[in-house]
């Protein structure tokens, strides 16, 4: 039987090991200790904002403005983490300037060049009081390999569980979920070995995120990922578009593009376990929703919501 390695071990292609403990379990346990070593009570949640990349940073900046607003507005204390980027200094400065212009009280950039940087205790100085954490784009594998299982990774999760807003754009969005699309190729037809999965930062369970979705034609790879485990919901986010996921699992779309939600829970059949490399995959029963600006979605009930109608101020004739 020709079973894709990703079905056996999502991190197989990155580590070369046959067995790899899922990082998100370690994150959660260490994050609880970081928050309160004496407490075993269930932690809460903040707001999560996966952004599809290429968000407007010069015009109306609706997505970034919403991030600052949800982070506290004029009282927002924001930490920027550009670890995924090949130009972290430059990108960190850009976001520092943007958030300052949008009225945040303070912004700090944490640069991570190697894993030892992510274990620096001085990280706590800024993160412990952060109301918003922004993770830049770049390469999600680089990001998680630098941050996963470190003090910085623990504190991101701890602040999120304490109610902070965490936003990630492009690669930063892909890394937010428990199961992360590490890399793959574009195309509209799902096919074998079109996508490779790895453990993400583990801030949210039950979904898998993809970015630059429409622009890079990634519907095929997202659907392929869902055939590996149909219990997941696939979320593909276009550029300059975000899905705001509130603590109660209700979501809203903001931006100029769309969010594609693929629900595989009713998958009736797939032959993913027996197709060969580059062959198309059959799948029956997936449900697809296309959500645009103002539309909503409930991750608990799996129901989409129409945009809330706004009262018109114009005359009728």
Q: Is the pLDDT of residue 145 over 80?
A: yes
Q: What is the pLDDT of residue 314?
A: 52
Give tens-digit pLDDT for 175-187.
999 999 999 999 9
Q: Is the pLDDT of residue 307 over 50?
A: yes
The CATH fold assigned to 23-298 is Rossmann fold (3.40.50)
Q: Is the pLDDT of residue 22 over 80?
A: no
Torsion-angle region of residue 148: left (phi > 0), alpha (psi -120 to 50) or beta?
beta
The per-residue pLDDT of the chain, averaged, comes to: 88
User: Rounded to two decimals, what is the model's pTM?
Assistant: 0.85
Rounded Cα gap, residues 152 and 74, in angstroms: 25
Rounded Cα gap, residues 198 and 192, in angstroms: 17
Structure tokens at 238: 């276009």
Alpha helices by DSSP H, listed for 71-120, are: 88-101
Percent of the residues in the chain that have a pLDDT greater than 70, as a whole number: 84
Q: Which of 71, 126, 212, 258 is catalytic?
A: 212
Rounded Cα gap, residues 18 and 190, in angstroms: 25
Respond yes or no: is residue 24 known to be catalytic: no
- Asked whether the beta carbons of 159 and 133 are under 8 A apart, the reply is yes
Nearest to 200 by CA among 225, 234, 219, 173: 173
Q: What is the pLDDT of residue 68?
A: 99
Q: Which of 65, 71, 170, 191 is catalytic?
A: 170
Respond yes or no: is residue 119 known to be catalytic: no
Per-residue pLDDT band at 300 (split at 50, 70, 90): very high
Q: What is the pLDDT of residue 200?
A: 98
- Asked whether the beta carbons of 295 and 257 are under 8 A apart, the reply is no
Rounded Cα gap, residues 1 and 249, in angstroms: 38
Give tens-digit pLDDT for 25-80.
444 444 444 444 333 223 469 999 999 999 999 999 999 999 999 999 999 999 99
For residue 205, what is the DSSP state? -
* Across 18-22, 104-108, 173-177, least confident range: 18-22
Helix (H) or strand (E) holding 181: strand 179-184
Rounded Cα gap, residues 226 and 164, in angstroms: 29
Q: Which of 126, 239, 252, 258 is catalytic?
A: 239
Q: Is the pLDDT of residue 214 over 80?
A: yes
SS3 (DSSP) at 272: coil
Alpha helices by DSSP H, listed for 23-139, are: 23-35, 62-70, 88-101, 123-127
SS3 (DSSP) at 17: coil
Q: Which residues contact 229 (CB under 8 A, 6 or more apart)?
A: 179
- Asked whether the beta carbons of 89 and 83 are under 8 A apart, the reply is no
Structure tokens at 193: 């070995």
């Amino acid at each position: 039987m020709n079973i894709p390695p990703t079905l056996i071990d999502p991190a197989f292609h990155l580590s070369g090991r046959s067995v790899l403990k899922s990082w998100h379990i370690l994150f959660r346990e260490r994050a609880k200790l970081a928050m309160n070593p004496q407490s075993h009570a269930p932690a809460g949640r903040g707001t999560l904002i996966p952004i599809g990349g290429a968000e407007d940073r010069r015009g109306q900046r609706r997505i970034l403005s919403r991030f600052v607003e949800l982070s506290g507005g004029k009282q927002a204390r924001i930490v920027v983490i550009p670890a995924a980027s090949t130009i972290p200094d430059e990108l960190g400065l850009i976001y520092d300037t943007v958030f300052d212009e949008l009225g945040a009280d303070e912004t700090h950039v944490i640069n991570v060049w190697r894993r030892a940087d992510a274990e620096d205790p001085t990280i706590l100085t800024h993160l412990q009081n952060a109301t918003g954490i922004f993770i830049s784009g770049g390469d999600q594998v680089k990001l998680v390999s630098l941050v996963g299982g470190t003090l910085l990774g623990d504190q991101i999760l701890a602040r999120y569980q304490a109610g902070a807003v965490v936003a990630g754009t492009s690669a930063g969005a892909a890394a937010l979920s428990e199961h992360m699309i590490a890399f793959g190729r574009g195309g509209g037809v799902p096919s074998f070995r079109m996508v490779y999965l790895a453990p993400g930062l583990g801030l949210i369970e039950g979904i898998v995120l993809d970015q630059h979705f429409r622009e890079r034609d990634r519907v095929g790879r997202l659907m392929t990922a869902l055939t590996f485990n149909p219990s997941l919901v696939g979320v593909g986010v276009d550029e300059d578009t975000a899905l705001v996921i509130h603590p109660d699992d209700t979501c809203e779309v903001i931006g100029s593009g769309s969010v594609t939600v693929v629900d595989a829970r009713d998958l009736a059949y797939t032959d993913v376990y027996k197709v060969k490399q580059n062959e198309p995959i059959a799948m029956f029963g997936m449900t697809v929703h296309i959500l645009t600006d103002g539309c909503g979605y409930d991750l608990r009930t799996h129901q989409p919501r129409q945009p809330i109608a706004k009262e018109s101020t114009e005359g009728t004739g």
